[in-house]
Amino acid sequence: MDQPYEELRGRVVIVTGAAQGIGAATARKLGAVGMKVIVNDIEARLGFEVAESIVAGNGAAHFIAADMERHSEIERLVHETGELHGRVDCVVHCAYWSVAKDVVALSEVEWDKGMAIMLKAAYLLGKHTFPHMVAVGGGGMVNISSVHGFGAVPHYPVYGAAKAGLLNLTRQMAVDGGPHRIRVNAICPGYIQTRPLPGNAPNPEDMRIYPLRRPGQPEEIANAVLFLLSAQASFITGHALVVDGGLTAMLQDGSTAGWSDGKSAFGAQY
């Protein structure tokens, strides 16, 4: 019997924003199944540590620093990856930047920075990696969007706008890449606990809006990335996979508190 994800072994993947959180978990997960991982971030120390942890687990990884805000840096990242491995098969765009300000307080510089790193970088990564994927007969891209791509919360205009734009950019790249056997998908996480406990314990009251009553873990997003890059998702492209513990499935109109305080059909207290 074939080993799970055997088709990914030896394939080259760039993971942006891979020094910590979802990006780091994704890089480690892909390295564990035998992919050759390019760990990208602007945080060199943490990025090297992630790459070293993959190698320590008998995987293959290299750290390449590049700023997702700059076109020349993205182009260099892809070029160096091609020079190092002779191919580029996949890319996972996890890098992000945001700030909590409404549109009045948000500066134009901050708007441009957020849009560049979260949205424009995805376009540029596709621009420079897709020719490599065409050369090897196809490939895959996964963009980490957010449930914020579907709705808004106070004081995050650039984050919400970029994540929403990323969803339609994903669809567009899927349409254009499909004839070349390039699949492009997005993942929309809910609240993911990217910092370790105990200092980052979630407020139980905040978790009441999640049917699963807990935050997600970076590894759970990494599992979804692995699935979308694998042959198990061979007929999935242009899709936004929501991984949010049920957050977007449940109405948040104020009536949910009453339902949450009642007994479930299973006879247990929520």
Q: Is 35 helix (H, G, I), strand (E, B) or coil?
A: coil
Q: Is 159 a catalytic residue?
A: yes
Q: How far is C-alpha 174 from the geometric centre of its chain's CA atoms?
A: 16
Write 104-107 long-range contacts (CB < 8 A, 24+). Answer: 106/157, 106/158
Nearest to 22 by CA among 252, 229, 190: 190
Give the span between the Cα atoms of 50 and 107, in whole angstroms. 33
**Which residue in 159, 191, 210, 270 is the catalytic one?**
159
Q: Dump the DSSP string for 222-245.
A: HHHHHHHHSGGGTT--S-EEEEST
Q: What are phi and psi of 220, to 5 degrees?
A: -70, -30
The tokens describing 88, both together, are 């580029």
Q: How far is C-alpha 258 from the geometric centre of its chain's CA atoms?
A: 34
Contacts of 62 (CB under 8 A, 6+ apart): 37, 38, 39, 51, 84
DSSP state of 211: T
Tell me, what amino acid is at 57? G
Q: The sheet that has 60-65: what strands, in order across it? A: 60-65, 36-41, 12-16, 90-93, 139-144, 182-189, 240-243
Q: How many CA atoms lie within 13 A of 107 on its CB side?
A: 3
- Catalytic residues, by residue number, are 159
